[in-house]
Amino acid sequence: MFDICVIGGGMVGSALAIGLGKLGLEVAVVEPKKPKPFDVSQQPDMRVSAISLTSGKLMSDLGAWDNIQAMRLCPYSRLAVWDNRSCRTDFDSADLGQPYLGHIIENRIVQLGLQQELSTYENIHLFTDDAISVKLGQITLSSGKTIQAKFLVGADGAQSKVREAANIGVQGWQYKQQALGIKIKTNEPQQDITWQQFTPDGPMAYLPLFDGYGSLVWYQSIEQTRLLKGLSKTKLKQQIQQHFPNDLVDFEVLDVASFGLTRMHANQYFKGNTVLVGDAAHTINPLAGQGVNLGFKDVSVLLNIIEKQQTEATSDTWLLRPESWLKEYEKNRRNDNLVMMSAMDVLYATFSNNSTPLKVLRNLGLKLANASGPLKKQAMKYAMGLR
């Protein structure tokens, strides 16, 4: 009998499992998709995340950050946002006395670093079979094995089986655009700036990666995304050069993929002895790269609450009667996640619009943000997770 079973050993699930292991709990982790081993000669993956300083500190506290650094990452210290050249806001970590705003890291590298640390715990057991049946207290795997646990965590993504089994409903929608991800190799050294330009058709962004590699994100209609994705690398480069700003240095296209944009929020974060974290509880417009950072915040809050329960409880019955402390987790995280989701939607709607009044307002907002030291610093703190 395990204390806790975590379904989903991705970035968020693995981080939570390590934290639970550090608290001395017997933990089972179910993750059938084993990440490809790291090799220094590999090109970067398509899936990358902007990891905030706070998320990096969490992984450092969990003992996994050194594993990630030993592979590869790209720190960035500057961020720029603009609508047009006269209305641009630039952020610099030096204004806060910090070396970086964050790091751009491949999702697989983060997962590998966390799972490397996870493997050092005797009280954490990783099962690489798929969970085909998830019921209260018992999980049946594709191999025929069964796992019994007092408590269940759904960290299994937007299509969560755990959420479905707990009969937790969701609210949300599919955006009318998709994000075209384009992996490039620039002819410049590794850069320390990530930027985003807003246009009426949607944002265009650049994320620096290690050794001069980079990732472009281009929001377009579903039909236009399909057409761009079908172009040859040469013709796609021509389209990028035609539409992207001059801030983009010379490059070569290496690969391309498209991603749907979905907003989803679980109606509740827990039910009975089941709790949701990360994308199982919420997905967000990736406009500001906050998705996985919100998941890591879920992990941090939940671990703090569980540690408090261990300290204050006179026995281990707290794990069997979780309603009181899970209400605290839900209140904390659901409100914070909802604020961020709504803020991204307002930003998306305001900037992806050619309305003259809105253009005037957003340009004024960018000018004010660039001129106001306190406002800029507060925005940077929020993005870095330091608020």
* Sign, CA torsion 266/175/256/226: positive
Task: At 17, give phi and psi (nearest 5°).
Answer: -60, -40
Confidence of residue 342 (pLDDT cuts 50, 70, 90): confident
Query: Would you say residue 261 has pLDDT above 90?
Result: no
- In the block, residue with structure tokens 């904390």: 332
- Residue 212 is which amino acid? G
Query: Would you say residue 358 has pLDDT above 50?
Result: no
Confidence of residue 362 (pLDDT cuts 50, 70, 90): very low
Instruction: Assign 288 to helix, strand or coil.
Output: helix
**Residue 377 or residue 78, greater confidence:** 78
Average pLDDT over all residues of the chain: 88
Query: Would you say residue 270 has pLDDT above 60?
Result: yes
Cα gap 302→234, rounded to integer Å = 48
Confidence of residue 373 (pLDDT cuts 50, 70, 90): low
Cα gap 352→182, rounded to integer Å = 21
Query: Would you say residue 360 has pLDDT above 50?
Result: no
- Residue 79 is which amino acid? L
Nearest Cα neighbor of 80 from 386, 334, 379 is 379
Q: Considering the domain 176-262 in this protein, what is its CATH number?
A: 3.30.9.10
Domain ranges of the chain: 2-74+103-172+263-384, 176-262
Q: Write out pLDDT tens, residues 290-333.
A: 789 999 999 999 999 999 999 887 777 788 788 889 999 999 99
Averaged pLDDT, 18-46: 96
pLDDT at residue number 352: 59
Query: Would you say residue 363 has pLDDT above 90?
Result: no
Q: Write out pLDDT tens, residues 221-232.
A: 999 999 999 999
SS3 string, 242-271, reads HHCCCCCCCEEEEEEEEEEEEEEEECCCEE
Confidence of residue 343 (pLDDT cuts 50, 70, 90): confident
Half-sphere exposure in the Cβ direction for 9 (13 Å, CA): 27
Averaged pLDDT, 33-41: 95
Q: Write out pLDDT tens, residues 89-101.
A: 888 999 888 999 9
Per-residue DSSP letters for 197-242?
A: E--TT--EEEEE-GGGEEEEEEEEEHHHHHHHHTS-HHHHHHHHHH
2-74+103-172+263-384 is classed CATH 3.40.30.10 = no
Query: Would you say residue 384 has pLDDT above 60?
Result: no
Question: Are the C-beta atoms of 309 and 318 separated by less than 8 Å?
Answer: yes
Confidence of residue 366 (pLDDT cuts 50, 70, 90): very low
Instruction: Find residue 84's DSSP bridge partners.
Output: 87
Averaged pLDDT, 96-111: 94
Nearest Cα neighbor of 7 from 113, 136, 152, 114 is 152
Q: Write out pLDDT tens, residues 183-218.
A: 999 999 999 999 999 888 888 999 999 999 999 999
Enter the pTM of the model.
0.91
